[in-house]
Amino acid sequence: MLPFIRLGPFLLQLPGLALLVGVWIGSALAEKEAERLKLNPADVYNVIFYGLVAGLIGARLAYAAQYLSAYLANPLSLFALTPNTLSPNGGLVIGAAIATLSGWRKKMALRRTLDALAPGLAAFMIAFGVAHFLSGDAFGSPTKLPWAIYLWDDYRHPAQVYETIAALAIFGIVRRRPFGQHEGVTFLLTVALFAGARVFLEAFRGDSIIWIGGFRAAQVIGLLALVASLWLMRVWAQRKSP
């Protein structure tokens, strides 16, 4: 793990840098795909930009709401550049809502816009896995396998490596656009593949959130997302885009 490197008096946080690179590459791919799909690349970029900004603000506010007393005592800590003080779920919901609103106001074609975002999302998920590897987050469960890595006082599955390899494979599939003749289905395929990967890979994680009954939260959510995306793929494949 390599969470940061020192540059003179400064500490460069490598996980954050990996995510920024992922956003940059993902945005460039989305704009390029928008041109191919005859969308306005600037409109697609704006959807990404507004979604990211709203997602970051929402993630910080959602995290602060969980620890309200600490932030009331020190309000300036809201502006701290600390990725660990973000709520991913809160940021995802708020960011997606604002991005959707931005696209709706521009009257963008929903399915084609989603397809334009698909390769960028797949590329960003590769960076997401790399960021986990650099930070040591999303670590694996203990194992005796030969390829185990020593992390947090034990030999563990390299869950971050599994995650990155899966993202690379999914990116390759998405770039081939196997169902490109049906608008919106490429995006749904991307969601389905990542949801399926999460259901499988979560079994190797050592930091899973466990719900009542012993169910892993990420697997339950991933399974629901997988079923919903597959169902919608079938519906959209049978209907013409409006």
**CA 225 distance to own-chain centroid:** 14
| Spatial separation of the C-alpha atoms in residues 32 and 192, rounded to whole Å | 23
pLDDT (tens digit per residue) in 197-212: 999 999 999 988 889 8
What mean pLDDT is predicted for residues 5-17?
A: 79
Asked whether the predicted pLDDT for residue 57 surpasses 80, the reply is: yes
Give the per-residue pLDDT at 83.
64
Q: State the DSSP H helix or E strand holding residue 234, giving kind and residue range, or none if neither.
A: helix 217-238
| Higher-confidence position of 98 and 62 | 98
pLDDT (tens digit per residue) in 28-43: 999 999 999 999 999 9
| Spatial separation of the C-alpha atoms in residues 92 and 51, rounded to whole Å | 9
Q: pTM for this one?
A: 0.88
By three-state DSSP, how is residue 13 classified? strand
Long-range pairs for 219-223 at CB < 8 Å and ≥24 separation?
222/195, 222/196, 222/198, 223/195, 223/199
